[in-house]
Amino acid sequence: MNINLKQVASFTMITAVSFGLGVSIPHASTDLIASGTHPKQTNEQKIDNQIKHMTLNEKIGQLFVTGVSNNKSITKHDIKKYHLGGIILMGNNFVGSKTSFKHRLKSYQHSAKIPLTISTDQEGGTVSRLSANKRISGHNYYLSPQQALHRGGMKKVLSMYRYQAKQLHALGINWDFAPVADVSLHKSSFIYDRTIGKGYVKTSKYIAASVPAIQKQHVAATLKHFPGYGSAADTHTGSAAVSRSLKSFESKDFRPFKAGIKSGVDSVMVTHIILKKIDPHKPASLSKKDIHLLRKDLGFKGVIVSDSLQMQAVGNYARSHHVYRDVAAFKAGNDVLLTSDYKRGIPQLRRAVAKKQVSVKQINASVKRILTMKDKIGLNIH
């Protein structure tokens, strides 16, 4: 090969002068950089880039997971108009045949610019949405975790979770609000029948094994109800407060949540009980102090979702303190707002941003966690 040294020297001088002046030479880079050596973007970089190109309305919409009616056209319209991040299916939404049900969920996904989380409460036993319509699921009853444990030990429990998660995934449902990580030592308490019915150590082992049983089926699992429901009263119908110390929660109730977090759980649901020794006035779901415990003390980096903000315990607080529940829940640290009031909630949250009561930085952080979870469960969000 013949090399003209004068040309090389001339090119070197021009390059040095050009870089010194901040001028780039397009052809030099293409000649010098080998084809295919550019690093590919990581999923995190893709998500960051996507967030940069989202409008504020699109970002705020991602925070909302809402109940829907069975009017397909209205639901599709609202998913598109409000940029909803997800929907939750209750028992009354399981209508029609298996085929028509799947088609309906697919049509909802097609209406969304960013794929939806489609969630439901499939715990088994008394909280079992798949039991609502045998034509869709093939069953009119699913064992509760306690019943499965009594029939066949943990092997049966894990088999139950795997089977339910496979069914959910096959139908187009990708987020299960289960398993229940609460421990109650009183059989008469509100939450007892939905727990595994054991103490803190055995419940922790149960949670550690149940999370991957669900999530290996490409369905996000959810630990509930942080900080631990215990023997508190039903927050669906009114306020409930507990006087136990933080040390008591740390040594007992937090243990199953720590086990689930260690197992890589995708999300944690925060309940509405009031922890008098931590934040004596606010339900946990509206308390920055309580949610801080989950994010910082337990080190949870995934999606934090509020329990339903339509429940009476939240309504009582919102009315007496003249606050808007969706805004209060987001300010407290929830990433996902489980609410059906999105037509008011989204404008209210946008207004809070305009008034600098809520930062865009916090919204971006929550959207990143949500999109990261969506990406993990196989939703093509890019």
Please give the backbone phi and psi of residue 224, each rounded to the nearest 5 degrees, phi first.
-145, 150
pLDDT at position 17 is 35
The Cα 206–Cα 157 span in angstroms is 9
Per-position DSSP letters for 268-305, written without gaps between them: EEE---EETTT-SSSBGGG-HHHHHIIIIIS---SEEE
Please give the residue that has the higher pLDDT: either 41 or 181: 181
pLDDT at 24 over 70: no
pLDDT above 70 covers a percentage of the chain that reads 87
Confidence of residue 39 (pLDDT cuts 50, 70, 90): low
Mean pLDDT of the chain: 90
pLDDT at 363 over 80: yes
Q: What is the mean pLDDT of residues 4-27?
A: 39
pLDDT at 12 over 90: no
Under a CB-based contact definition with an 8 Å cutoff, are residues 198 and 154 in contact? Answer: no
> What tens digit of pLDDT does each residue of 46-68 get?
999 999 999 999 999 999 999 99
Confidence of residue 380 (pLDDT cuts 50, 70, 90): confident
The Cα 95–Cα 111 span in angstroms is 20
pLDDT at position 23 is 39
Decide: pTM greater than 0.95.
no
Please give the residue that has the higher pLDDT: either 365 or 6: 365
> What tens digit of pLDDT does each residue of 251-288 get?
999 999 999 999 999 999 999 999 999 999 999 999 99
Helices (H), the chain: 5-20, 26-32, 43-52, 56-62, 72-82, 98-111, 134-137, 145-171, 200-215, 246-251, 254-262, 288-292, 312-321, 325-332, 342-354, 360-376
pLDDT at 173 over 60: yes
Cα torsion angle, 251, 256, 259, 265, sign: negative
pLDDT at 242 over 80: yes
> What tens digit of pLDDT does each residue of 217-236 get?
999 999 999 999 887 655 66
**Complete domains list, the chain, with CATH:** 1-38 (no CATH), 42-376 (3.20.20.300)
> What tens digit of pLDDT does each residue of 71-89 get?
999 999 999 999 999 999 9
Under a CB-based contact definition with an 8 Å cutoff, are residues 225 and 271 in contact? Answer: yes
Listed in sequence order, the residues at least 6 apart from 6 whose beta carbon sits closer than 8 Å to its beta carbon are: none
